[in-house]
Structure 1
Amino acid sequence: MRPYAGNPYHAISLDEAIKLHAPLVKKIAYQIASRLSANVEVDDLIQEGMTGLLDALQRYQPQPNLSFEVYAKTRIRGAIYDSCRANDILPRHQRDQITALEKSTRSLEQKLGRAPEDTEIADAAGLTLDEYFNVVAGAVNLTPIDDLPDELIPPDKQNDPMQLASMKQLAQGLEVLLKKLPEKEQLVMALHYQEELSFRDVATVLNLTPGRVSQLHTQAMIRIRAGIKKDA
Structure 2
Amino acid sequence: MPVSETQIKKLNKDDFSLRNEIVAEYLPYVNRIVNRIATHLPPTVDVDDLVNVGIIGLIQAIERYDPTRDNKFMTYAVFRIKGAVLSELRSRDFLGRTTRKKIRTLEKAYLKLEQQLGREVHDEEVAEEMEMDLDQFYQVKRMSSISFVSFEEMGCTSREEKETLLNYLANNDGENALALTTIKEVKATLARHIESLPEKERLVVSMYYSDEMTMKEIGLALEITESRVSQIHSQAVLRLRNKLRKDGLLEE
Q: TM-score, normalised by structure 2?
A: 0.76
What percent of counterpart residues are identical? 32
Alpha-carbon distance in structure 1 between the residues aligned to 2:21 and 2:174? 27
Separation (CA, whole Å) in 2 of partners of 1:32 and 1:135 = 16
Following superposition of structure 1 onto structure 2, how do residues 96-135 of structure 1 map, counting pairs within 5 Å?
96-109=101-114, 115-125=120-130, 127=132, 131-135=136-140
Q: Secondary structure at the match of 2:154?
A: coil
Aligned residues: 225
Q: Does 1:45 align with 2:81?
A: no
Considering Cα pairs closer than 8 Å and 6+ residues apart, tell me whether 1 or 2 has the greater RCO: 1
Do residues 90 (structure 1) and 95 (structure 2) align? Answer: yes
CA distance in 2 between counterparts of 1:107 and 1:67 reads 43
Q: Decide which moves more: 146-155 or 183-192.
A: 146-155
User: What is residue 63 of structure 1 aligned with on the other side?
Assistant: 69
CA shift for structure 1 position 119: 4.3
Q: 1:149 to 1:109 in 2, by over 3 A?
A: farther
1:154 and 2:158 aligned: no
Name 2:22's counterpart in structure 1. Answer: 17
Cα shift readout 1:78-134 (whole Å, capped 9, x = no counterpart): 111111122222222121111012123334455666644434544554556565334
CA distance in 1, matches of 2:55, 2:184: 27
The alpha-carbon deviation at position 217 of structure 1 amounts to 1.7
Structure 2 counterpart SS, 1:155: helix
Find the residue that maps to 1:154 and give its secondary structure. helix
Structure 1 contact 188–202 (Cα < 8 Å) conserved: yes
SS in 2 for 1:156: helix
Unaligned runs of 5+ in 2: 12-17
1:198 match: 214
Q: Residue 136 of structure 1 contacts residue 219 of structure 1 at CA under 8 Å; is this kept in 2?
A: yes
Structure 1: any 5+ residue segments left out of the alignment? 1-5
Dislocated runs of 4+, deviation >4 Å: 108-115, 123-131
Q: Counterparts of 2:63 and 2:27 in 1: how far apart (Å)?
A: 15
Is 121-130 or 102-111 further displaced after alignment? 121-130
The yes-or-no answer on 1:209 pairing with 2:225 is: yes
Note the alpha carbon deviations across 1:141-195, whole angstroms, 9 max, x for none: 5211233322587333634241134222111121122223222222222111111
Taking a change above 3 Å as real, the CA distance of residues 54 and 114 of structure 1, as seen in their structure-2 partners, is farther
C-alpha distance in 2 between matches for 1:159 and 1:18 = 29
